[in-house]
Structure 1
Amino acid sequence: MNSLLVAFLTTFLLFELVHGGQFVPLDDVKIDKLPGQPVEINVKQFSGYIDVDKDSGRSFFYYLVQPAKQPSNDLPLTIWLTGGPGCSSVGDGFSSVGPFVTSANARGLQPNPYSWIDVSNLLFIDSPTGSGWSYSNTSSDYKNGDYRTNKDLVTFMLKWYKKFPCFKSRDIILAGSSYAGHFVPNLANSLLDCKDFKFNVKGLTLGNPLLRRKLDELATSEFLLSRKMIDSEIHNKIMQECNTIDEDNYGAKVAVNWTKNCSQLMDKALSAAFNITDPRMAQGRLFDVLRKPCKGTLEDLKLGKEVAKISHGVDMCVNLRTDFYFNLPEVQKAFHGNRTNLPYPWKGCIMSNFAYTKTDIDFDMLPALKRLLQKSIPITIFSGLEDGMVPAVGTQKHLKKLAEELGLKFTKKESLNGGCSRYSYGDFLNLFTVKGGSHHVTASRPSQALYIFKNFVLKIGNA
C-alpha cells in the first residue's frame, strides 16, 4: 500500500467529511442507524458529549438530527430543551418533535409524521447535570439551579460550534416545554449578550411554559373550577387562604411559601378533582386531565408484550416505551451514551440524587421575556387546554401583564384549523391555545404543534 493511500485512510479514520465540507471529529460519531430504525426515514444523526466543566468532570449529552435531503444547509437550527427540571431533552425528542417514536414493543422505532425535522435541524441537549445521559464526576454538581444550568448551556454551545462549525452562521430557534419557560429565555438572553461569539437567535417557541409558578398553581384551582372538577366552595377557600401573592410585584414575593392550610386545601381539591386519595397521584393527572394514564409496565415490555393505550387519539404509553428503549444496551451503544457505564437505569425524568433550587423554580420569568421582546425577538407560546399543571388561563394572564408593561396592543384573536386560537400582542408575541392539548402539546396534538412551528419558521425566515 503506497504512502499516499495510507495517509488518506488514516485521515478518513480520524475525520468524516460531512456538513458541506466541514470536518467533524469521530469521537462524536455519526449514528449510521439506530436499532429498529425504519429504512424509509433518511436523516443524518450525530450524538456525543460536550465537557462543560473539565475540572469537575461535568458533561452534557446531545443528539443532532438533520434531514438528509437538501436544502438542510438552509434550514435553521432549533435547540430543544425539555423541562422538569431534570428531564431528558434527547428522550423527549422520541415522544415529541424528533423523527422517530418507539414501536409498540419498544424494541424498534416508527416514523413520526409530525416531526419538525422537515423545517429545521434539531439539536437536543440533556441539561442540567443528571438529566438523561448528562453527568458529572462531582456529586455536588447534581444540586442544580438556573444560573449554573444557563452558564453550562452557553459553554456547551461555544464548544459545540467548534465541532460543528458549519452551524455558526445558521439562524437559531430556541424551543422547549414546561420548565423550558426558564431554560429557554435565560439562554436566549445570554446568547444575545455573549461577547465571545455572535449567536443568530431569531426566536423562541415554548409549549406550556412555567413562567410564574405560584400564580400558575393558583390558576390550577381556577382551571379545575371552570371544568366543574371541583366546586366553588373549595375554590373560594383556596383563593382566600392562598392568594397572598401580589401579581403586580411577583418578584418581591417569590420567597413566600404556602401555609399548611393552603397546601392541605390544594391537596383536597386535587383529590376531589380526580377522585384519588393520594394527592401525589392526583397531581400527576394534572398534566392531562382529559386522558387516563398508561397502565402498562416495564415488566410487560421485558416479557415482549406490546404496550400502548390510545386515549382521545393519543398514545399514553409512549414515555414508558422510551424509557425501555433507551435502556437497551444496543441503543446506548448506537447513541454513544452512558460513557461512564453508570449503574442506574436511564429515566426520562429525574434521577434519585437530582436536586434543583426551589427559589429558582418560583422565579418570575416575565422580565427575561420582556428583555427579549425589547430586542424584537419573536416569541410564540402554545398551551394545551387540557393542561392543569400550567393552565392556559394562567399563561394568558401573564402575557396580558407583559403586554401592558410594554404597551403592546392586543390585535387579534383567530380561530384556526384543528382547534387552535391565536392571541397576538404587538408584532412579536403570540399565544396559541390548543383544544385537546395536554401539558405536552407536541405529543398530544402534534399536528397542531407542527402547524404552529412551521408558520413560526416561515415568519422569521421572511423577516
Structure 2
Amino acid sequence: MAMHKLMLLVMSTSICMFLQYLCPLEAAPEDYLVTNLPGFKGTFPSKHYSGYVKLDGNPPKNLFYYFVASERSPARDPVVLWLNGGPGCSSFDGFVYEHGPFNFEAAKHKGGLPVLHLNPYSWSKVASIIYLDSPVGVGFSYSANTTYYVTGDLQTAAETHLFLLKWFEQFPEFTSNPFYIAGESYAGIYIPTLASDVIKGIKNGAKPVINFKGYMVGNGVCDPGFDGNALVPFAHGMGLISANMFKEAEVLCKGNYHNSINNKCQKILYKIDRVLDELNRYDILEPCFHHVGLNDVANENTTGLPQSFKELGQTEKPLAVRKRMFGRSWPFRAPVEDGIIPLWPQLMRKITVPCMDDVQATIWLNDDAVRKAIHASPESGNWSLCVDLRYTHDAGSMLSYHKNLTSSGYRVLIYSGDHDMCVPFTGTQAWTQSLGYKIVDEWRPWKSNRQIAGFIQEYANDFTFLTVKGAGHTVPEYKPRESLHFFSRWIEGLRI
C-alpha cells in the first residue's frame, strides 16, 4: 500500500512537471488566485494571483501585487519583479500597456469595459512576472495613515525589499528560481537601489534567501549630468534642430546643457526647447494630442476635417485610433535632480499633459467587478495611473550603484528605445560607456524576425547596452515582438 501511494505521488509529480501551469502551485495563497477577469473570455494560459503584502506599521502599509506565473515552466523559469516609474506611477502601466498577459481593446459601446485578448508577446511566455504598485500610496497600494505617502528613494528600496522577503514567504516554491528586477523610466532609480538592498540582505542572512541574478532597466534615468546633457545631441542627430542651432549651443554652453553656464547658453537652450515643444517627447515618431487656437486652425489646411473642428471654440484635434493606448511613466523630462520631485498631478496644475492617455486602464481598473476579481481593497480608493506623493530623490547618481553591482557578479541589461526624447539613448549610451569596462562584443545590429531590431554593445562583467530601433520611452508598448525577443534571450543567458 505504501509503495502504491509512493508510485501515485511520483506519477502525479511527473505529470505536474510536464503540465506545469495546470497543476496548483504548492504553497501559493489560494485566496489570492485570480479565476476570471471581466472583459476576458477564455482560459488563462497560466496561474494568476493578486493581493496584498502587509508591511509593519500601525496601521500597516499594504503593498499590492499582481503575479502572472510563467506560461512555459513556472517551476524552472525566472521570476521577474516589474516596476514602472513616475515616481508615483502604477506598475499596471506595464501590465495593461506593455508586456502583460493581455492586450486591451477599447469597449465597443459607451460605458463598456475594454475587451481583453491574449497578448502573443507577453513576457510571461518565458518568465513569471510580479507587477508591484510601489511605493505605498501608488495604484492599489495603500495605508490608513497617509503620512506614509511621504517617501523617497532609500525608503522605497527598503520597503520593496521587505515586500520581496514576505512575498517569497507566501510563494516559497519560487525561492530557488532565478530572480531578476526589471523596470523603466524612474525605475532607473528604483532598481539599482533595490538591488543593493537585496544583496545586503543576502549577505546579512535575511530569510528567505532570494536567488538574485541581475536586473534590466529600460529608458531609465541614472545621473543628472549624463541625462541632462543628452537632449541637445539627440535632437541634432534626429534632425529636430538645425546644425546652426547645435553649433551655437555647443559654443555657448561648452557642451554643458545640464547646468547652463551663462545667459547666452540659457537663451539658445530655451530656443531649442521651443522648437521641440510640440513633439511627442515619449516617441518623436508618434502623433501628439494638442490644444489648438484660432490662429493654428487658420494657418493650416483644414480640408477633410469635420465642420465642427473649423468652428470657433473648438480646442481639440482628433487623432487616429491606435490599437494600443499609450500611457505615462515620467513626470516631465530628464534629468532628475536631488530633492523633492514634482509629480504628474502637480504638473497638471501648471501645464497641459501632452500626447498620452490612460483611459482604458482607468476604466477597467476602477470597475467594481474587476477590483473584486483581483482582490483590490475598497480602502485603496480610485485607481489612477500616477498619484500625488511627496517624493524625494535622495539616492543621488546611480553610477556608483551600477559600478558596485556589476563588479559584484550580477548580470545587467540597459536598454533604450532610440526615439525617446524624455530619456534619450544618447545619455544612456554615454553613461554605460563611462563605467570603463572592456568591450567584449563591439557595437553590432541584433535581429528579431530576421530584421534588424536595434544595436547592442556588450562589456565585461556581463554588462550590456542595447537599443531598440523605432521604439519610444516604454519600449514593449511600441515594439512588443522585439521586446519579447531580447527579454527572453537575455534572461536565458543567450546571445541576443
Question: TM-score interval w.r.t. the shorter chain?
Answer: 0.7 to 0.9
Deviations 1:363-410 (A, max 9, x none): 2101111111111111112111110111111111101101x1xx4235
Which residue does the alignment assign to 1:301? Answer: none
**Structure 1 stretch 386-395 or stretch 286-295: which is displaced more?**
286-295
Which residue does the alignment assign to 2:441? Answer: 411
> How far apart, CA to CA, are the structure 1 residues paired with 2:267 and 2:372?
47
> How far apart, CA to CA, are the structure 2 residues paired with 1:73 and 1:308?
45
Which residue does the alignment assign to 1:421? Answer: 455
- The TM-score with structure 2 as length reference comes to 0.75
**Structure 1 stretch 112-121 or stretch 219-228: which is displaced more?**
219-228
Seen in structure 2, the aligned counterparts of structure 1 residues 295 and 52 have a Cα distance that, compared at 3 Å, is farther
Seen in structure 2, the aligned counterparts of structure 1 residues 84 and 265 have a Cα distance that, compared at 3 Å, is farther
Residue identity opposite 1:292 in structure 2: P
Report the CA distance between 1:246 and its aligned residue: 11
The answer to whether the 8 Å contact 1:46/1:64 transfers is yes
The answer to whether the 8 Å contact 1:175/1:204 transfers is yes
Which residue does the alignment assign to 1:356? Answer: 391
**Structure 1 stretch 409-418 or stretch 381-390: which is displaced more?**
409-418
> How far apart, CA to CA, are the structure 2 residues paired with 1:56 and 1:147?
21
Residue identity opposite 1:334 in structure 2: A
Matches within 5 A, 1:285-304: 285-293=280-288
Which residue does the alignment assign to 1:439? Answer: 473
Report the CA distance between 1:212 and its aligned residue: 1.2
**Structure 1 stretch 51-60 or stretch 198-207: which is displaced more?**
51-60
1:42 matched to 2:77? The reply is: no
The answer to whether the 8 Å contact 2:48/2:69 transfers is yes
1:200 matched to 2:211? The reply is: yes
Report the CA distance between 1:320 and its aligned residue: 2.6
Report the CA distance between 1:152 and its aligned residue: 0.4
1:22 matched to 2:27? The reply is: yes
1:270 matched to 2:307? The reply is: no
Which residue does the alignment assign to 1:302? Answer: none
The answer to whether the 8 Å contact 1:422/1:431 transfers is yes
1:98 matched to 2:93? The reply is: no
> How far apart, CA to CA, are the structure 2 residues paired with 1:119 and 1:356?
34
> How far apart, CA to CA, are the structure 2 residues paired with 1:437 and 1:71?
29
| 1:114 paired residue among 91, 97, 121 | 121
State the structure with more CA Rg: 2
Seen in structure 2, the aligned counterparts of structure 1 residues 52 and 206 have a Cα distance that, compared at 3 Å, is same
Which residue does the alignment assign to 1:163? Answer: 170
Residue identity opposite 1:137 in structure 2: A
Deviations 1:230-288 (A, max 9, x none): 234544565566669699xxxxxxxx7998886775454232124x4xxxxx6xx2111
Which residue does the alignment assign to 1:396? Answer: 429
Seen in structure 2, the aligned counterparts of structure 1 residues 237 and 85 have a Cα distance that, compared at 3 Å, is farther
Which residue does the alignment assign to 1:459? Answer: 493
Which residue does the alignment assign to 1:366? Answer: 399
| 1:78 paired residue among 57, 62, 80 | 80
SS at structure 2 position matched to 1:375: coil
1:347 matched to 2:349? The reply is: no
Matches within 5 A, 1:239-278: 266-274=269-277, 276=278
Which residue does the alignment assign to 1:210? Answer: 221
1:179 matched to 2:186? The reply is: yes
Which residue does the alignment assign to 1:383? Answer: 416
> How far apart, CA to CA, are the structure 2 residues paired with 1:293 and 1:246?
26
Seen in structure 2, the aligned counterparts of structure 1 residues 190 and 330 have a Cα distance that, compared at 3 Å, is same
Seen in structure 2, the aligned counterparts of structure 1 residues 355 and 261 have a Cα distance that, compared at 3 Å, is farther
Residue identity opposite 1:332 in structure 2: R
Deviations 1:281-302 (A, max 9, x none): x6xx211111014689xxxxxx
> How far apart, CA to CA, are the structure 1 residues paired with 2:263 and 2:59?
39
SS at structure 2 position matched to 1:124: strand
Ranges in structure 1 where 5+ consecutive residues have no aligned partner: 1-16, 248-255, 277-281, 297-306
The answer to whether the 8 Å contact 1:35/1:330 transfers is yes
| 2:57 paired residue among 43, 54, 59 | 54
Seen in structure 2, the aligned counterparts of structure 1 residues 239 and 87 have a Cα distance that, compared at 3 Å, is farther
Which residue does the alignment assign to 2:89? Answer: 87
Identity %: 27
Which residue does the alignment assign to 1:322? Answer: 361
Deviations 1:127-172 (A, max 9, x none): 1122111122223222221110001001111111221111122110
SS at structure 2 position matched to 1:93: helix
> How far apart, CA to CA, are the structure 1 residues paired with 2:371 and 2:266?
41
> How far apart, CA to CA, are the structure 1 residues paired with 2:290 and 2:250?
34
Deviations 1:177-204 (A, max 9, x none): 1111111111112112212132111121
> How far apart, CA to CA, are the structure 2 residues paired with 1:424 and 1:310?
39
SS at structure 2 position matched to 1:204: strand
The answer to whether the 8 Å contact 2:38/2:370 transfers is yes
The answer to whether the 8 Å contact 1:83/1:180 transfers is yes
Deviations 1:110-135 (A, max 9, x none): 21111011110110111112211112
SS at structure 1 position matched to 2:230: helix
Superposed structure 1 runs of 4+ greater than 3 Å apart: 17-20, 232-247, 256-268, 293-296, 307-311, 313-319
> How far apart, CA to CA, are the structure 2 residues paired with 1:258 and 1:111?
52
Seen in structure 2, the aligned counterparts of structure 1 residues 400 and 32 have a Cα distance that, compared at 3 Å, is same
Residue identity opposite 1:347 in structure 2: S
Seen in structure 2, the aligned counterparts of structure 1 residues 55 and 257 have a Cα distance that, compared at 3 Å, is farther
Greater helix proportion:
1
SS at structure 2 position matched to 1:456: helix
SS at structure 2 position matched to 1:43: coil
> How far apart, CA to CA, are the structure 2 residues paired with 1:209 and 1:331?
31
> How far apart, CA to CA, are the structure 2 residues paired with 1:259 and 1:338?
53
The answer to whether the 8 Å contact 2:154/2:394 transfers is no
SS at structure 2 position matched to 1:400: helix
